[in-house]
Each structure stands twice: as structure tokens, then as C-alpha cells.
Chains A and B, each alone.
Chain A
Amino acid sequence: MSFSAWSALLAAVALVIVVLLKPDPLPDSFFDGLTGDVDRGALVFAAAGCASCHTAPDAEPSDAPVLAGGRTFASPFGTFVAPNISSGSRGLGTWSDIDIANAILLGEGPDRTHLYPALPYAAYRNMTRQDAYDLIAYLRTLPSAITPNQPHDVGFPFNIRLGIGVRKTFFNRGEWVLETVQTAEIERGRYLVEVLGHCGECHTPRNFMGGLDRKRWLGGAPNPAGKGQIPNITSGKLGWSKDEIVDFLKSGFTPEFDSAGGQMAEVIAGLSKLPQSDLEAIAAYLKAVPALD
């Protein structure tokens, strides 16, 4: 083959890769036939833990949180800064419902760029259409903030967003970790833990590409923010009864009356708003996942 033929082939391959890795957005009809319910959306918001990342670093817990962004999250790939997702024009004010859904479910920005997986869209991918629409309806009722977005501090090669597309093809396949569920309660728990709660993002160790090691699901992981270990919450290590797990998620107190700390304190602030049946479902799911040492 001549040089020009090689070049043409190379260009064609590159084009195919770029096209393959370009995100495929949701259809405009995605929410057709649905009505967003603000009250239900508030519960989705609480379960999904949005406030624990998107409120300002010094924000107090609130029933109408200001999602101004600005918190930083250290990782081996760089430091991510949570964006403003308030209802104002610096936040989601100019985004359509489909724009927001593309971001939450597919990790895709309105300009069809890949978003960094600090936003746990690999988990949110299996969010029901109704939950997503309720959540969006609720987000639009929250206060606006004028805080400008700050750039992430991510070095080469992770600053090439197309690379996120490669990662997505490996890790965003929407498969359940616990494939078979015995009861409706465990099924609900699976949805709350694997999807909305995105518990695995902290409690499961990661591989070299930053994807979750599903063989060590919820088996504990190094603390990305420094010293210490995010605990193993499978029954191989967590010896709490179902009731004790529910009490912890509701009150933040362990059976020994130590209190939840770190990010978990914020998670509890959200989860404690959920109905008792949901907390019981989470506990039932945790009892059902494979026990790891």
C-alpha cells in the first residue's frame, strides 16, 4: 500500500473510533407520557445523595439545599470540582430536561462531551425514567446560585475527554452486580444501593482504569481522600443485624453508639429521609450480596 493509502486507512480508523466514542444521547421523546412529581423527586434526590457533593463546601444541611458546587474530590486521576447544578443560569437553568437526563444517566454534557465519572452515571444509568423525571422536577424547585464553575484539575492523559468514552464502553453496561434477587424487598434494595445510592463508588475497590472491581463488590476500599479505609459492608465483615443497619442509616449511630463520619455522615443526612421500608430494603440487600473477607 502506498503512503497515501495508509494515511487514508488510518484516518478512517480514527474517524470510526471518534464516532464510536462520541456519546449517543437519549431520544427527545424519552420522557413522553410522564409527569414529574416534585415530592417523589425529593426522595430520589435524598437517596441519590446529590446534596452531599453539589452543595458548597461549608453548607449546612437544608431542606432546600443550594447546589452551588465547589467541593473538591481528590482521586488518582486528578482533583474534580463539583459543578453548580442549582436552578439558576449558572447551573441547570439553561438545560432542557433531556440535557439533564443525558448528564445523569449517560454522563454526557449538553455539548455532547463526556462528563467525568466523578458524577456516578455508571450507577445512575439504571435509574427508572420516572425517578429521573421526578428528580429533574425537584431540582428545578431548588434555589439558584450564582457561583461560577471551576475547572477540574486533571492532568494528561485524563484531560482528554474522549478517553472517558473508552472507559464507558467497559464500565457502563448497566448490568446488575447482584444478578438474581429472591424477594421484592431485595430487588428494591438493589435499586437503592446499586443505582440511586451508588454505594459501590466508595465501598468497592477500583481497578487501574478507575472502574469498580465487581468481584470485590462492597468489600471495602482505600479512602480516596487520605488515610483510613472505607469499610467492607458485606456480611463477611459487617456483623450488624438488619435492624442495626436500619438504625444506622436512620440515625447515623452504630450499634456501639459511635457516629458516622466522613462522607457517610452526609449520606445519612439523605438516607434518613427515606421511608422505613426503603432502609429495610437496603439492609436486606446488604445481607444478600456475597460475603467478602
Chain B
Amino acid sequence: MTPMTKMPLVSAVIGMIATVAIGADHIDPAVGAAIKARQSHMQLFAFNLGTLGGMAQGKIEYDADAAQMAANNLQALASVDCHPYFIVGSSNADASGTRALPAMWEDPDGVMAAFAKLQGATAEMAASAGGGLEGLQAAMGALGGACGSCHQAYRAPAN
């Protein structure tokens, strides 16, 4: 082979290597953005739960106004339609940086039922958080259960 005829072959090989290298780490920007958005949304849950949970556990002094605010936020967060976050192709089988199991897409009814449970639990918290520590503590159990039951079925363990 002359050097000239070799060139296309060399570039083809380089091109293939590059494709494989990029492919391994490549993530559709729309998928990456959706994963980031839903994780941020979860972070907002955790932040507000931190206020209520801290009070329930006696680590933060009970403050009716702060508790009510956090509970209202949780209820608002639970009313957000999360469908745009969970686009097809963004499970942990398809993309990196996520623990969302394919089961979420295979069992939409189950996901919606779990989500409805979360809405019920946040509504209950919003109705009781401002009325005293005992009510807050009582509502915490159902809220923890709602988080847990969804994570149980639809989230893989961390790495």
C-alpha cells in the first residue's frame, strides 16, 4: 500500500477509536439535563425534610413557622409533574450518573401510585407540622415510608 492509499484506512481506524471512546462516555445532553433536574428536585426534598426531621429528632428546636414553611415546600414539591425529568433512555441501564431503575419505565402505574402516596404524606405533614411537635413527629413516619417505598422499588443502591 502506498502512503496515500493508507491514509483513508488510518483515518477510518482513528475515527472508529474516537467513536468508541466518545461512545463510552457520551450522554445525550437531554438525558443528562433530565437526570440533573430530577436529582436537584430530590435535593430540595432533602433540604426541607432536614428542617422537619431535625425537629422530629430533637436536633433543631421546634419552630411552628419554620416547620410549616418546610412542610408547605414539600407539598409544593410533591405537586410538581415529574414526567419531563424521567424521559425514556435515562434509566441506569441506559445512562451513567443515575440510580433510577428501568422498573420505573416498566411500571408507570406503580410509580404513580407511589407518587400519590408521597402527595398524601406531604399533605398530612402540611396539615400538622405547624400545630406542634407531636403532630410533626407523627406525620414523619408516613413521609419516610413514602420516600422509602419508592426508593425501594425504583432506585438502585449507590456505588
Contact = CB atoms under 8 A, between A and B. Distances in A.
A138 B85 CA distance: 45
Contacts of B53: 251, 253, 257
Given A261-B152, A263-B152, 20 more contacts: A61-B145, A227-B159, A228-B156, A231-B157, A251-B56, A251-B141, A252-B148, A253-B49, A253-B53, A256-B50, A257-B46, A257-B47, A257-B49, A259-B151, A261-B155, A262-B152, A265-B148, A265-B149, A265-B151, A266-B152
Interface string A223-251: 10011111100000000000000010001
Interface string B41-61: 000011101100100110000
Interface residues of B, dominant DSSP: helix
B151 A229 contact: no
Interface of B: 45-47, 49-50, 53, 56-57, 92, 99, 101, 140-141, 144-145, 147-149, 151-152, 155-159
Residues of A in contact with B, size category: 20 to 34
A106 to B, nearest CB: 31
Interface of A: 61, 223, 226-231, 247, 251-253, 256-263, 265-266, 268-269
A228 B149 CA distance: 18
A179 B146 CA distance: 39
Q: Give the interface centre of A223, A226, A262, A268 by most chain B CB atoms within 10 Å.
A: A262
B100 to A, nearest CB: 11
Nearest to B92: A227
B99 A228 contact: yes
11 contacts: A226-B101, A227-B156, A227-B159, A228-B156, A229-B158, A257-B47, A257-B49, A257-B50, A261-B157, A262-B155, A265-B149
Most buried by B among A226, A251, A266: A251
Nearest to A268: B148
Contacts of A257: 45-47, 49-50, 53
Given A231-B158, A261-B155, A265-B152, A252 B147 contact: yes
A259 B147 contact: yes
Contact of B144 (A223, A259, A266): A259
A259 B148 CA distance: 6
Contacts of B147: 252-253, 259
A262 B151 CA distance: 6
Given A61-B145, A229-B157, A258 B92 contact: no
A228 B151 contact: no
